[in-house]
Amino acid sequence: MANTFGHLFRITTWGESHGDAIGVAVDGCPPRLPLEVEEIQKELDRRRPGQSEISTQRREGDRAEILSGVFEGETLGTPILIGVWNSDARSKDYDHMRRVYRPSHADYSYDAKYGIRNWKGGGRASARETIGRVAAGAIAKKILAREFGVEIVGYVKQVWKLHADVDPSTVTQEDVESNIARCPDQDMAVQIIERIKEARKDGDSLGGVVECVARGVPVGLGEPVFDKLEADLAKAVLSMPACKGFEVGSGFGGTTQTGSQHNDPFYSEGGGIQGGISNGEDIIIRAAFKPTATIMQLRGRGRHDPCVLPRAVPIVESMMALVLADHALRQRGQRGSV
């Protein structure tokens, strides 16, 4: 199974949704990076279940433990192993799924591929696997901020047919965290929260879009052929559970414009990505998530989000950070500086 992601900054996630524990091994982190478990915990708290009235009611503390690679508050340059114990799995809720494949889940395809599956929860296909991504993403964000001056902010842009008005160039994480919808547009956040509550009451679910901006990205990240920066971002984003669409910059909206409308004037301080390589301008991506597959009409007894968007924000940020940190370290290794 392809559980490893990245080149110089590599992560390998491990564990299953209803196993004893879940986590990540991070290899390639530079030594002497100041790192405390509280920095990782802060990001995991943004992702954890049961955090609000519009998220799944599975109660997990998701307390991170750093098991290797950090000594006296600094990274050693050796592999960093981070683990989280599962404490509220309630596997009995899945007893009736031993011989039943849930619609719109990976149950059948996983079983068909490997000839065996853990029917308790979603196994490796569960969104609980993203604990490892977020933990590693916290380290990647620290590298990017400290060594390269990069800031990453994600937020809910759309839920169902409700679209938020957000300025990517000025939005802050404080704006995002100001409400449980993680939507900086306060008026729209109220509508989004009410619509998610309504979906939960009806035993239904909603999809939407997370937008994410990276500011202060150095020039020169990415490769001009197969490892284009937007190509690696696309793979990272589309590898997330329930993610069904990816856009960068103008995305599909650019298809309705002419060349004269779409072309950007070139400025020395930056367009985001050109020829697969960053040019110093803000990079904006969007990730589209489908409605949660487990709904009451399917007799799903597990606890699930009526809308994954608010909890998906730190996951999208983490995947963007992992790609940018990897490419920043690759560029520094090739050129000696960024």
Question: Looking at residue 300, what DSSP letter applies?
Answer: -
pLDDT recorded at residue 1: 63
In the structure, what pLDDT confidence band is assigned to residue 338 with cuts at 50, 70 and 90?
Answer: confident
Query: Would you say residue 289 has pLDDT above 90?
Result: yes
Which residues 6+ apart lie within 8 Å of 190 measured at CB? Answer: none
Task: Report whether 42 contacts 29 (CB < 8 A).
Answer: no
Give the gyration radius of the chain's Cα atoms.
Answer: 20
Task: Report whether 246 contacts 211 (CB < 8 A).
Answer: no
Query: What would the two tokens of residue 13 be?
Result: 């996630």
pLDDT recorded at residue 149: 97
Query: Would you say residue 191 has pLDDT above 80?
Result: yes
In the structure, what pLDDT confidence band is assigned to residue 259 with cuts at 50, 70 and 90?
Answer: confident
- Delimit the domains of the chain by residue range: 4-335
Q: Which tens digits make up the pLDDT trace of 130-147?
A: 999 999 999 999 999 999
Query: Would you say residue 302 has pLDDT above 80?
Result: no
Query: What would the two tokens of residue 172 be?
Result: 């802050």
Question: Looking at residue 59, what DSSP letter applies?
Answer: -
DSSP structure string for 176-238: HTTSTT--S-HHHHHHHHHHHHHHHHTT--B-EEEEEEEESPPTT-S-SSTT-HHHHHHHHHH
pLDDT recorded at residue 305: 87
Instruction: Please name the helix (run of DSSP H) or strand (run of DSSP E) that holds residue 155, with its range, or none.
Output: strand 151-159
Q: Which tens digits make up the pLDDT trace of 40-75?
A: 999 999 999 888 999 987 678 899 999 999 999 999
Q: What's the fold here for domain 4-335? A: Chorismate synthase, AroC fold (3.60.150)
pLDDT recorded at residue 271: 65
In the structure, what pLDDT confidence band is assigned to residue 268 with cuts at 50, 70 and 90?
Answer: very low
Packed helices 309-335 and 229-238: angle between N→C axes, nearest 10 degrees: 150
pLDDT recorded at residue 262: 83
Query: Would you say residue 172 has pLDDT above 60?
Result: yes
Query: Would you say residue 103 has pLDDT above 90?
Result: no
Provide the 3-class DSSP secondary structure of residue 298: helix
Residue type at 52 in one-letter notation: S
Tell me the average pLDDT of the chain: 92
CA dihedral 278, 284, 285, 288 (to 10 degrees): -170
For 327, half-sphere exposure in the C-beta direction (CA atoms, 13 angstrom radius) is 26
In the structure, what pLDDT confidence band is assigned to residue 269 with cuts at 50, 70 and 90?
Answer: very low
Q: Which of 17-21, 52-56, 217-221 has the highest mean pLDDT?
A: 217-221
Query: Would you say residue 270 has pLDDT above 90?
Result: no
Residue range 303-332: mean pLDDT, rounded: 95
CA dihedral 228, 233, 236, 238 (to 10 degrees): -110
For 137, half-sphere exposure in the C-beta direction (CA atoms, 13 angstrom radius) is 27
CA–CA dist 206, 308 (Å, integer): 8
Q: Can you say whether residue 138 is alpha, beta or left, with left for phi > 0 and alpha for psi between -120 and 50 degrees?
A: alpha
pLDDT recorded at residue 118: 81
CA–CA dist 289, 130 (Å, integer): 15
In the structure, what pLDDT confidence band is assigned to residue 298 with cuts at 50, 70 and 90?
Answer: low
> What percent of the chain has a predicted confidence (pLDDT) above 70?
93
Provide the 3-class DSSP secondary structure of residue 135: helix
**pTM across the whole model:** 0.93
CA dihedral 187, 287, 173, 42 (to 10 degrees): 120
Query: Would you say residue 294 has pLDDT above 80?
Result: no
pLDDT recorded at residue 228: 98
Phi, psi (5° rounding) for residue 95? -55, -35
pLDDT recorded at residue 299: 53
For 255, half-sphere exposure in the C-beta direction (CA atoms, 13 angstrom radius) is 4
